[in-house]
Structure 1
Amino acid sequence: MMRKTRDRSDRAAGAMSPALVRTLALTRAGLAAERGARAFWPVLSVAGAIFTAGAFRLPAVLPDWALMPAGYASVAALVAGLGYGIWKFRFPSRAEAVARLDASLPGRPLAAMADRMALGSSDPAVAALWLRHVERMRAEAEAARPVAPSPDLAPRDPYALRLSALTAVAMAVLFGAPWAGVGMLRHGPAGPAEAAMAPAWEGWAAPPRYTGKPGLYLNTVAGEELRVPKGTRFSFRLYGSAGSVSFNESVSNPAEAPEADTAGSSGVTARDFVALRDGEIRIGGHGGRVFRVALLPDAAPEVALVGRAERRADGKFVQSFRAGDDYGVVSGKARIALDLSHVDRRYGLAIAPEPHPDLVYDLALPITASRASFTGKLNEDAAKSALANLPVTVTLQVEDGLGQTGSSAPEAMVLPGRRFFDPRAAALIEARRDLMWNRANAPRTAEVLRAISNRPDDIFPDAQTGAAIRAVALRLEKGEIADKTRDDLAEILWRMAVLLEDGGRSDALAKMQQAQQKLSEAMRNGASADEIRKLMQDLKSATDDYLRMLASQDPDQDPRFGANQPEQRITGDQIQQMMDAIQKLMEDGRMAEAQQLLDQLSRMMQNMKVTQGQGGSDNSPGGQSMRDLQETLRNQQQLSDDAFQDMQEGPSGGAGAQPGSPGTGTPEAGRPDSGSPELGGSLADRQRGLRQDLDRQRALMPHLGGDAGAEAQRRLDDAGRAMDEAGRALDQGDTGSAIDRQAEAIGALRDGMKSMREALSAGRPDSAAQDDPSDDSADPRQGAAAGGQGATGRDPLGRQAGEGAQPGTDRNMLPGEDVYSRARDLLDELRRRSAERQRPQEELDYLGRLLDRF
């Protein structure tokens, strides 16, 4: 049978092309590699384990009596593994290679090529068919590719010992010393005679962690120059007997003894030290090196205050700062000390103060971002400190990883703290300040408290407050005051002052927030209309109480603190409009929109100022220019409406009037003139008057810089040209063209005002700033507010401004109506009118333009 198989294989091989022969040879080689892996993986795994042990110098840590048994065991394991491999390995024959290749092909074409016809060989047709079959099999065989070996070692190595050995070899190559493995396996640690076969030393340099620089393996460093940060830790290991490898260094502190300088039983000498100065490291013996160490400079960190301190409404202060270091800041502190030379030494501050410890706060450092250069904020509450609202000096100090420090220049300021505007609360806080300043002020403070508490029913909301003040005065009059007693009395005065200052504000705010929460819960749970109305009324009542509290207790902001914070103003009318809109949405069943508007109202009630009516004014040049342009825009819109009405009235007026004639577009004809008094006369005269007003306003307009200013000027030029063309069209009786030009003028005016608002927001105009540098109106934020809304807080179309004084509006443009249905009604009306072909052609063209736009 074997002979028959071999004969068929030989016949198939004889019919093979050279390419197929190469494919068969590669398949046979792969089959040999497969069998070799299955037979020799144990001996290879043992060899890998022995190599790893030598690379990691395991024999160096074994006792002498264990070295020889370990060596014999290693050799025995190698011999056993090799013998097992030789016993198992069988080199594959050609027939096996042909069978392997043929099994990978569909239809086994190699076997078919070796087959012979059993019957019909004398028939020419059958012979031709057989020849065609053999040729097709030969073509399929020519497309064969070598079969890759498949050792399939997992079933033969269930514990994956081969993979463990391979991993160990990889670790030994990357992190061990494989070049010394052979010598150590034979003799243990390398000696002087074997120095040519292995390195006599190894060294590492580990920079301080705060530098973020990687460690160095000194054996692979090229050249003698070595630049490392100060504080780098060097570690050297010298192999051989003590003194066989000389070592000298001059970079550490000579007063410090080396941590280890002895050769133990393993024959390894350790030298560890920290680089503190420039110097050299010399290693003698075979493979010796000289390293000239130069320490990289480590500059001291820097820190500086940025801008002015800001006072928050709750009395906390915020101070920005900037810090940096070449490697990174590791810590920082702020120190606030009393600036006695600038204290107004009057009243309770006339006597010398008691020693007050400086206020020390930790600086907030970035957690994930880089600390090499960053900007942070000191946000602390010093309202209850004895230094609050007194002149102080603020000094920041930062430290780097090397222990170097950097400090900012002392900054003089008044330490921001909570201010009290209620006269009663302010008097109690002043008495508390005097007591904290020096306990020698106790008699004077007691007299002040006695005066405050005289006839308490007239000034305090309840009798308990007056009684508490008199109790504090009585305790101050008893004599010696301990530190704890002083602090307790100061805390009592603080709490009473806060109670008087708030005057129930906290209760009013809590009541309003509770009403908002109830209303939100009712909307989520599908409350009835009566329940919604009652909760809405409760919310309005609570909001009114809170607004009255704010209006009576919210004074102007101190210009020294928080001057760069834009204030948000909201009127009682605006709040009422939002309330009405919320109620309307809820009645319509649009609960999601009502909840969104309620959340917006809640946000607007935070950090705001309340004014009566429209409130607010701006007398800056930018604000006046915006108001003038708004008036011109309204007049131009009214003039356009009048021109359109004239066009609808027919030949008796407007389009049919003689050029320059009064027509029906004059006030004398019965139509009220909504423009300025000086804009009377015909439509053309009124148009020319508006053009002259625009020129006058542009002459008085402050200089606008930047791209936005240039765009504003360009759009106002376009508006002027459109006005001129509209005036000429009105003179010629072409009302349709005049209306088109007026629409262009209105659009250009709107765009120009928008660009002007952006220019004013970007900065105060140069001309205004040069006119009066000391004028408070030179603040660019005031110019932005004026440019945005003017004195009335409304946009150029008279609509209420949106949140943050931005263009747009937060309120319903059609109060009491559904804006969507109203828009649909307007579009339907426009379509209906455009379908009436008996209307004048000018009107139909105008309606067509409206429909094309919307």
Structure 2
Amino acid sequence: MARQNDPELSRTIRWPLALTHAGLVAERVVRAWWPLWSVVFVALAILMLGLQDLVAVEWVWAVGAGLTALFIWALWRGMRVFQWPSRDEALLRLDGSLKGNPIQAALDSPAIGTGDAASMAVWNAHQARMRARLKEAKPVEPDLRVSNADPYALRFVALLALSVAFLFGSFVRVQSVTNMGVGGPELAQGPSWEGWMSPPGYTRLPTVYLNDITAENLDVPEGALITLRMYGEVGALSLDESVSGLSRTPEQAQDTAQDFEVAQAGRLAIDGPNGRAWQIAMIPDAAPRIERDGEIEIAYDGAAQIPFKAQDDFGIEAGQARLVLALGEVDRRYGRALEPEFQEVINVPLPMPLAGSRADFKEALGGNFSLHPWANLPVRLEMSVTDGRGQTARTEPELITLPGRRFFDPMAKAVIEQRQALLWNRDNVDTISQLLRAMSNRPDEIFRKPEPRKTLSEILAKLEALDGISDEQQGELAQALWDLAVELEEGDLQDALERLQRAQERLEEAMKNGASDQEIAELMQELREATQDYMRELARQNRQNEEPGEPADPENTIEMSQDDLQRMMDRIQELMEQGRMAEAMEALQQLQEMMDNMQVTQGEGGQSPGEQAMDQLSDTLREQQELSDEAFRDLQEQFNPSQRQDGQQPSQQEGDPGGEPGDQQPGQGEARERGDGQGQGEQGLEQSLADRQQALRDELNRQRRNLPGQGTEAGERSAQSLEDADNAMDGAEEALRDGDLAEAIDQQSEAMEALRDGMRALGEAMAQQRAQQQGQQGFAEGGEPGEQRDPLGRSQGNSGRSDTDEGLLQGEDVYRRAEELLDEIRRRSSEADRPEIEKNYLDRLLERF
């Protein structure tokens, strides 16, 4: 370049040029020397973390030699690659960052036209414009990226290692490498030592570097491991401690490696040059505690929940429940007069919290023991838990009745008694045969259906043909008797009327036998479902067989809605829970008479198309919720496979009591045979869930075709929400087929939310239509629009249904009472220990009101 020593130019770009030149230097330093400081960082991290103290000295020398070789290579490479940048390179870098290269222009001179005044005027103007642009010059940032030379980002690995060493290491540990080998500097500088206190892993407390502890007192958890390493001349340092409870000879106290656990409070000292002493206060590890907590809840099908609570200072590791037959408390008459056959003690792992602390928690041991030979017999329950240190706590043996399914049908109850007699002792076979034949003496008066009668005949034939009975035959006969009892108890559920009658009979039997509140609640739920099925079937038959005829006499008829029936059954359940069995029995008989004389009609007393659509959508929502719950349980089992341990089978569901008697290990999950009945591993189950999801989606598409409220704004919102639910179900089905349970659960949640939105919008559309119809009818009759009365004189409101309790509070403050009920619903819905089905019901109440 000509005229490079232009003083004016140098003054203008002095600082931008200097900083640009410095950036070039930084670039070349980084690119030339990054391997060198990476090696230094790794070596320093190793020394600060004290890794040299954890391996043999030969490894230290080998790694040191390797790092030294890398250091020399990195130094040689840097010297070969590095070149000091010149001023011209900095000028070119700075000029390239400016528009029009003004530095080059300012240094140029005209090649021609120097004698032409006009040409020189143009040149001078160009020069002035370029020099003015130089005032905008700014330093060029250096490019410090070396990713092309370091594609594996080894420099960042070295930096991360050094950062970890700064956080968890110490510069004090670096000097320990000088003690390696004979004749090291420690012989001249004096002996040294290092020590660590490592608490037990279950405490989750950090390790303490004793060299950094200068206080005289030190709190140490029980069982902590003390590790000491003494360097220098052997015998210069010695250990004096009373915390381990061990006795040492003077020679053992001078060992250079000392490892022991803290078993008691005492003194820990390192005697000698640079020694130190601490007074150790041991933090004892308290023993765990466990106790039974609350009443045992038994469902109608025999599924039990046995609550307990456990505590420990650092957390419970595991627990177990042990159930042993209380032979002295058993009624030894009839089939139990003989000595019982040997049965294994029932050992069931206690459930532990899947998340959160195990230091203080409440759980419930769940399971169904109905198939066990000891079902409904007195047993002694003992629960035990173990903490991380191996300490065990047990509850006092508690005498309870082993929960199991109770049968209320007399014939089913008699069959179950014979099954228990068979499992008690196989020598009861002859007596069992005689009793079963006596019970079936007049089969036409006992059996409702021919199938149970045929099954009993087959069982009798097998029993009477036996000459000695093996374990396998005993198990098969016990299973056959169980299936027969369940069939007699449940019957053929295809006939709605028979199911309703059986539900009423079983409820009466339960009331007579003093059943528990839980069993009564289960039977009341069965009665509600049977009543709904019966009314739907009766309505369908009335529609099929509808014939014109004279209308019924209004004075001799009473119209009742579904809500009225539900209130009546709620009253029956309330009376039973209060112990007023006589009144409850009378109310149940009145309900039976009403159901026997019931006729279902369309219109005000029956279900409109809108109500039928709402019922169908409610069933779809419930089935979607059940499907989502099953997918969630399967996802939990993937992350907690310990629930299925060696030899433990899933608990049997009602109606699927497969397996040998005594094989039950309650609390280990549910039966895997769902949907298509194939339990062939996770993939088969997910495929089954996907098929069920597809069937549910098809059912929703069928329901969407004839929805009421079309053409209204609420009806359009309902149709859009149900379309969103259909899309979400499609996504859930695809995720289930791909085995992605987490995504399937998310899609199912969206489908349920869309279904709820659709049902709310559909309800608004139906309410609008009813209000219009009733308004027109009211004006036509000369009354107020929307004001109607049911046959009992109650106001039906604008919805056309008797869902008000007008006059029932007899002058009380209805608003205060409503607020109290709402607060109570909120309180119950916030309690985490309530059953999921109850919480869902309370949430629906809060959404509605």
TM-score by length of 2: 0.56
Q: Give, in whole Å, the separation in 1 of the partners of 2:234 and 2:389.
A: 35
Which residue is 2:22 aligned to?
29
Distance change in 2, residues 1:641/1:428 (3 Å) = closer
Q: 2:130 aligns with which of 137, 140, 144?
A: 137
**SS of 1:307's equivalent?**
coil
Query: How many Å apart are 1:220 and its aligned residue?
Result: 3.5
Q: Give, in whole Å, the separation in 2 of the partners of 1:358 and 1:61.
A: 52
**SS of 1:298's equivalent?**
coil
Give the letter for the 2:487 counterpart. Answer: D
1:617-655 CA-partner distances (Å, limit 9, x unpaired): xxxxxxxxxxxxxxxxxxxx9999989955899xxxxxx
What number of residue pairs does the alignment pair up?
A: 606
Give the letter for the 1:562 counterpart. Answer: Q
Query: How many Å apart are 1:206 and its aligned residue?
Result: 2.6
Q: Give, in whole Å, the separation in 2 of the partners of 1:401 and 1:54.
A: 34
Does structure 1 retain, via aligned residues, the 8 Å contact 2:186–2:232?
A: no
Distance change in 2, residues 1:120/1:11 (3 Å) = farther
The alignment status of 1:576 with 2:569, answered yes or no, reads no
Alignment of 1:448-527 (within 5 A): 448-449=435-436, 451-452=438-439, 459=446, 461=450, 462=453, 465-466=456-457, 468-469=459-460, 472=463, 488-489=473-474, 492-493=477-478, 495-503=480-488, 505=490, 508=492
Q: Give, in whole Å, the separation in 2 of the partners of 1:89 and 1:451.
A: 108
Does structure 2 retain, via aligned residues, the 8 Å contact 1:12–1:111?
A: no
Q: Give, in whole Å, the separation in 2 of the partners of 1:291 and 1:119.
A: 93
Which residue is 1:240 aligned to?
232
Which residue is 1:798 aligned to?
none
Give the letter for the 2:293 counterpart. Answer: V
Does structure 2 retain, via aligned residues, the 8 Å contact 1:227–1:296?
A: yes
Does structure 2 retain, via aligned residues, the 8 Å contact 1:252–1:274?
A: yes
Give the letter for the 2:107 counterpart. Answer: A
Q: 2:93 aligns with which of 94, 100, 119?
A: 100
**SS of 1:303's equivalent?**
strand
**SS of 1:308's equivalent?**
coil
**SS of 1:8's equivalent?**
coil
Does structure 2 retain, via aligned residues, the 8 Å contact 1:301–1:329?
A: yes
Which residue is 2:294 aligned to?
307
Give the letter for the 2:207 counterpart. Answer: G
Which residue is 2:695 aligned to?
none
1:157-198 CA-partner distances (Å, limit 9, x unpaired): 78987677667766766677766768857974685746859x
The alignment status of 1:210 with 2:199, answered yes or no, reads no
Query: What are the ranges of 5 or more consecutive residues in structure 2 without an aligned counterpart?
Result: 545-601, 603-608, 628-652, 655-772, 796-804, 829-833
Query: How many Å apart are 1:448 and its aligned residue?
Result: 4.0
Query: How many Å apart are 1:24 and its aligned residue?
Result: 1.8
Does structure 1 retain, via aligned residues, the 8 Å contact 2:240–2:253?
A: no
1:13-67 CA-partner distances (Å, limit 9, x unpaired): 4442xxx422222222222333444555566566667767776549995669x97
Q: Give, in whole Å, the separation in 2 of the partners of 1:119 and 1:433.
A: 122
Q: Give, in whole Å, the separation in 2 of the partners of 1:37 and 1:360.
A: 67
Q: Give, in whole Å, the separation in 1 of the partners of 2:389 and 2:536.
A: 58
Query: How many Å apart are 1:581 and its aligned residue?
Result: 13
Does structure 1 retain, via aligned residues, the 8 Å contact 2:304–2:366?
A: yes
Give the letter for the 1:576 counterpart. Answer: E
Does structure 1 retain, via aligned residues, the 8 Å contact 2:186–2:192?
A: no
Give the letter for the 1:203 counterpart. Answer: G
The alignment status of 1:711 with 2:815, answered yes or no, reads yes
Query: What are the ranges of 5 or more consecutive residues in structure 1 without an aligned counterpart?
Result: 264-268, 513-541, 609-636, 650-670, 680-692, 702-708, 714-753, 765-780, 786-801, 810-854
Does structure 2 retain, via aligned residues, the 8 Å contact 1:310–1:561?
A: no
Q: Give, in whole Å, the separation in 1 of the partners of 2:811 and 2:39.
A: 97
The alignment status of 1:416 with 2:403, answered yes or no, reads yes
Which residue is 2:715 aligned to?
none
Calculate the aligned-residue CA RMSD, in Å: 5.9
Query: How many Å apart are 1:209 and its aligned residue?
Result: 2.2
1:312-333 CA-partner distances (Å, limit 9, x unpaired): 3333322233333222211112
**SS of 2:297's equivalent?**
strand
Q: Give, in whole Å, the separation in 2 of the partners of 1:378 and 1:69.
A: 55
Which residue is 1:830 aligned to?
none
1:339-380 CA-partner distances (Å, limit 9, x unpaired): 567655655567887776643321122234432233322222
Which residue is 1:726 aligned to?
none
Query: How many Å apart are 1:499 and its aligned residue?
Result: 0.9
Which residue is 1:622 aligned to?
none
The alignment status of 1:335 with 2:322, answered yes or no, reads yes
Which residue is 2:310 aligned to?
323
Which residue is 2:549 aligned to?
none
Does structure 2 retain, via aligned residues, the 8 Å contact 1:582–1:598?
A: no
Distance change in 2, residues 1:163/1:593 (3 Å) = same
1:299-321 CA-partner distances (Å, limit 9, x unpaired): 33233333322323333322233
Alignment of 1:550-629 (within 5 A): 559-560=515-516, 562=518, 565=521, 567-568=524-525, 569-570=528-529, 571=531, 572-576=533-537, 596=617, 599=620
Does structure 1 retain, via aligned residues, the 8 Å contact 2:419–2:481?
A: no
Distance change in 2, residues 1:121/1:188 (3 Å) = farther
Q: Give, in whole Å, the separation in 1 of the partners of 2:625 and 2:159.
A: 68
**SS of 1:313's equivalent?**
coil
Does structure 2 retain, via aligned residues, the 8 Å contact 1:429–1:494?
A: no
1:694-746 CA-partner distances (Å, limit 9, x unpaired): 8x865475xxxxxxx76246xxxxxxxxxxxxxxxxxxxxxxxxxxxxxxxxx
Q: Give, in whole Å, the separation in 1 of the partners of 2:396 and 2:386.
A: 16
Q: 2:281 aligns with which of 294, 299, 309?
A: 294
Identity of aligned residues (%): 33
Alignment of 1:191-270 (within 5 A): 191=184, 193=186, 200-221=192-213, 223-254=215-246, 269-270=256-257
Alignment of 1:107-122 (within 5 A): 107-116=100-109
Structure possessing the higher radius of gyration over alpha carbons: 1
1:103-137 CA-partner distances (Å, limit 9, x unpaired): 22222222333345667779888777656544543
Query: How many Å apart are 1:384 and its aligned residue?
Result: 3.2
Query: How many Å apart are 1:493 and its aligned residue?
Result: 4.9
Q: Give, in whole Å, the separation in 2 of the partners of 1:237 and 1:279.
A: 20
Q: Give, in whole Å, the separation in 2 of the partners of 1:273 and 1:111.
A: 77
Does structure 1 retain, via aligned residues, the 8 Å contact 2:179–2:186?
A: no
Does structure 2 retain, via aligned residues, the 8 Å contact 1:203–1:236?
A: yes
Which residue is 1:397 aligned to?
384
The alignment status of 1:384 with 2:345, answered yes or no, reads no
Distance change in 2, residues 1:362/1:136 (3 Å) = same
TM-score by length of 1: 0.56
Does structure 2 retain, via aligned residues, the 8 Å contact 1:261–1:270?
A: no
Give the letter for the 2:366 counterpart. Answer: N
Give the letter for the 1:229 counterpart. Answer: P
Q: Give, in whole Å, the separation in 2 of the partners of 1:284 and 1:443.
A: 84
Does structure 1 retain, via aligned residues, the 8 Å contact 2:381–2:398?
A: yes
Q: Give, in whole Å, the separation in 1 of the partners of 2:774 and 2:144.
A: 94
Q: Give, in whole Å, the separation in 2 of the partners of 1:309 and 1:207.
A: 39
Does structure 2 retain, via aligned residues, the 8 Å contact 1:190–1:240?
A: no
Query: How many Å apart are 1:102 and its aligned residue?
Result: 1.8
Q: Larger deviation: 53-62 or 240-249?
A: 53-62
Q: Give, in whole Å, the separation in 1 of the partners of 2:272 and 2:478.
A: 81
Give the letter for the 1:391 counterpart. Answer: P
Give the letter for the 2:535 counterpart. Answer: Q
Give the letter for the 1:276 counterpart. Answer: A
